[in-house]
């Protein structure tokens, strides 16, 4: 009965600063290791006529897209006020190693791209769909498609479906995390 009321909760209490640090470090690690897979998937894709020749340093836009998708995902798991707190802490942490001038430029770039990402979210069903299309546009994948899809300026449905399946691995699993942890807002 006591357990039912949550008085004997086995959840570990986590402060926001600690969560954000773990969250950003983990996402950065997944992004840097995972971009190799995404880059190889795009460069060696049979559904493209030519190789886009993505390089390791092209990770910057991928990183931004993954963070924006994950920030959007917060809305599915937290109240609006909590999302705002988490978002602000995460954006600060993303830019923690930048100089003041770089921070200003990075934040401006982030906000502009966030606005674009919101437009994509309004157009597509989910953050995964928006992320896949953002990658398609940001890396100019249309330029490497066959004539039919290039003329339509639409992604090859097989390519975009495979991309969405890969991107699912870059979304933070809040369900699992919140089963084990209780955030202290």
Instruction: Tell whether 1 is covered by a domain.
Output: no
Q: Which of 45-49, 100-104, 157-161 has the lowest mean pLDDT?
A: 100-104
Q: Going by C-beta distance under 8 Å and a sequence separation of 6 or more, which residues neighbour residue 34?
A: 169, 170
pLDDT of residue 100: 58
- At residue 98 the predicted structure's pLDDT band, cuts being 50, 70 and 90, is low
Short-list 41, 38, 46, CA closest to 62: 38
Percent of the chain with pLDDT over 70: 90
Instruction: Tell whether 67 is covered by a domain.
Output: yes
Work out the mean pLDDT of the chain and round it to a whole number.
Answer: 90
- State which residues form the domain around 142: 12-184
Residue 1 has pLDDT above 50, yes or no: no
**How far apart, in whole angstroms, are the C-alpha atoms of residue 183 and residue 143?**
45
Residue 110 has pLDDT above 90, yes or no: no
- At residue 3 the predicted structure's pLDDT band, cuts being 50, 70 and 90, is very low
Instruction: Tell whether 150 is covered by a domain.
Output: yes
**How far apart, in whole angstroms, are the C-alpha atoms of residue 159 and residue 164?**
9
Instruction: Tell whether 135 is covered by a domain.
Output: yes
Instruction: Tell whether 121 is covered by a domain.
Output: yes
Phi, psi angles (nearest 5°) of residue 124:
-110, 170
pLDDT of residue 97: 62
Indicate the number of domains in the chain: 1
Strand partners, 69: none
* Count helices and strands in the chain by DSSP H and E runs: 8, 2
Instruction: Tell whether 107 is covered by a domain.
Output: yes
Instruction: Tell whether 174 is covered by a domain.
Output: yes
Q: Which of 40-44, 110-114, 165-169, 175-179 has the lowest mean pLDDT?
A: 110-114
Instruction: Tell whether 163 is covered by a domain.
Output: yes
């Amino acid at each position: 009965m006591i357990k039912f009321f949550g008085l004997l909760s086995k959840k570990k209490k986590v402060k926001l600063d600690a969560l954000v640090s773990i969250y950003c470090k983990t996402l950065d690690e997944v992004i840097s290791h995972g971009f190799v897979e995404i880059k190889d998937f795009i460069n060696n894709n049979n559904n493209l006529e030519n190789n886009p020749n993505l390089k390791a340093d092209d990770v910057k836009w991928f990183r931004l897209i993954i963070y924006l998708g994950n920030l959007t995902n917060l809305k599915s798991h937290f109240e609006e006020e909590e999302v705002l707190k988490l978002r602000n802490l995460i954006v600060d942490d993303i830019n923690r190693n930048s100089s003041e001038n770089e921070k200003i430029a990075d934040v401006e770039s982030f906000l502009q791209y966030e606005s674009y990402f919101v437009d994509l979210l309004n157009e597509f069903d989910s953050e995964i769909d928006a992320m896949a299309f953002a990658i398609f546009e940001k890396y100019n994948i249309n330029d490497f498609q066959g004539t039919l899809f290039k003329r339509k300026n639409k992604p090859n449905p097989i390519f975009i479906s495979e991309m969405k399946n890969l991107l699912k691995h870059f979304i933070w699993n809040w369900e699992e995390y919140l089963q084990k942890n209780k955030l202290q807002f």
